[in-house]
Structure 1
Amino acid sequence: MLRKNAEAIVIQRGWLSRTSEAFKVRLLENAELLKFDTGHVIFAKGDKAGGIYGLVSGTLGIMAAPPYSTPRLIDIAVSGDWIGEDSFISGKPRRIELVAQNETWLLHVPLEKMEQMAELDPDNMRAFGVMSILGADSMLRLVHDLQKKSASARIASALHRICWATHIPVAVSQESLSVITTTSRKQVNAIIKRFVEEGWVETGYRSITVLNPEALKHHADEDMAD
Structure 2
Amino acid sequence: MAHFARFSIEHVETRGGPHRRDPGGLADQEPEGVVRLFGLGVNAMSKQSEFAVILKMNPLFSDLHADDLQRVAGLCHTLQLDVGEVLFQKGDDGDALYGVRRGQIRIETGASDGGRLTLNFQGPGDLFGEIAVLDGQPRTADAVAGEPTELFVLRRGDLLAFLEREPRIAIRLIELLCQRIRWISERMEESVLQPLPVRMARRLCALADDYGSEVHISQEQLGVYVGAARESVNRQLQQWRKDGILDLQRGRILLKNMSRLTDVARNA
Please give the range of the TM-score, normalised by the shorter of the 2 chains: 0.7 to 0.9
Larger radius of gyration: 2
CA contact (8 A) 1:48 1:92 kept: yes
1:46, CA displacement in angstroms?
Answer: 0.5
The one-letter code of the counterpart of 1:165 is: Y
Per mean C-alpha deviation after superposition, the further-off stretch among 191-200 and 27-36 is 191-200
CA contact (8 A) 2:48 2:73 kept: no
The one-letter code of the counterpart of 2:136 is: G
1:145, CA displacement in angstroms?
Answer: 4.1
CA distance, structure 2, for counterparts of residue 206 and residue 96 of structure 1: 24
1:72, CA displacement in angstroms?
Answer: 3.4
Q: Which of 194, 199, 208 is the equivalent residue of 1:149?
A: 194
CA distance, structure 2, for counterparts of residue 117 and residue 8 of structure 1: 15
Q: Percent sequence identity over matched residues?
A: 21
1:3, CA displacement in angstroms?
Answer: 2.5
CA distance, structure 2, for counterparts of residue 215 and residue 140 of structure 1: 27
**Which residue does the alignment assign to 1:15?**
59
1:205, CA displacement in angstroms?
Answer: 3.3
Summarize the alignment of residues 204-219 of structure 1 with structure 2, pairs less than 5 Å apart: 204-210=249-255, 215-219=260-264
Q: Which of 199, 209, 212 is the equivalent residue of 1:166?
A: 212
Tell me, yes or no, if structure 1 residue 102 matches structure 2 residue 143. no
Q: Which of 195, 202, 221 is the equivalent residue of 1:176?
A: 221
CA contact (8 A) 1:64 1:72 kept: yes
1:43, CA displacement in angstroms?
Answer: 2.0
Please, what TM-score do these two structures have when normalized by structure 2? 0.64
1:42, CA displacement in angstroms?
Answer: 2.5
1:152, CA displacement in angstroms?
Answer: 1.9
When the two chains are superposed, the root-mean-square deviation of aligned CA atoms in Å is: 3.6
**Which residue does the alignment assign to 1:87?**
132
The one-letter code of the counterpart of 2:211 is: A
Summarize the alignment of residues 19-30 of structure 1 with structure 2, pairs less than 5 Å apart: 19-21=63-65, 22-30=67-75
CA contact (8 A) 2:134 2:156 kept: no
Please, what TM-score do these two structures have when normalized by structure 1? 0.73
Tell me, yes or no, if structure 1 residue 74 matches structure 2 residue 119. yes
SS in 1 for 2:152: strand
Tell me, yes or no, if structure 1 residue 123 matches structure 2 residue 168. yes
Tell me, yes or no, if structure 1 residue 31 matches structure 2 residue 94. no
CA distance, structure 2, for counterparts of residue 175 and residue 44 of structure 1: 22
Contiguous gaps of at least 5 residues in structure 2: 1-45
CA distance, structure 1, for counterparts of residue 256 and residue 57 of structure 2: 19
Per mean C-alpha deviation after superposition, the further-off stretch among 202-211 and 89-98 is 202-211
Q: Deviations over 1:26-74 (max 9, x none)?
A: 2222222334343333222200121111234444333369xxxx98333
Summarize the alignment of residues 21-60 of structure 1 with structure 2, pairs less than 5 Å apart: 21=65, 22-60=67-105
1:114, CA displacement in angstroms?
Answer: 0.6
The one-letter code of the counterpart of 1:125 is: A
CA distance, structure 2, for counterparts of residue 117 and residue 186 of structure 1: 48
Q: How many residues are treated as equivalent by the alignment?
A: 219
The one-letter code of the counterpart of 2:63 is: T
CA contact (8 A) 1:9 1:79 kept: no
The one-letter code of the counterpart of 1:189 is: N
SS in 2 for 1:92: coil
CA distance, structure 2, for counterparts of residue 210 and residue 55 of structure 1: 26
1:209, CA displacement in angstroms?
Answer: 4.9
Q: Decide whether aligned partners of structure 1 residues 52 and 71 sit closer, same or farther in structure 2, where only a CA change above 3 A counts.
A: farther
The one-letter code of the counterpart of 2:128 is: I
1:117, CA displacement in angstroms?
Answer: 1.0
Q: Deviations over 1:164-206 (max 9, x none)?
A: 2205553x32222223322222222222234445555454433
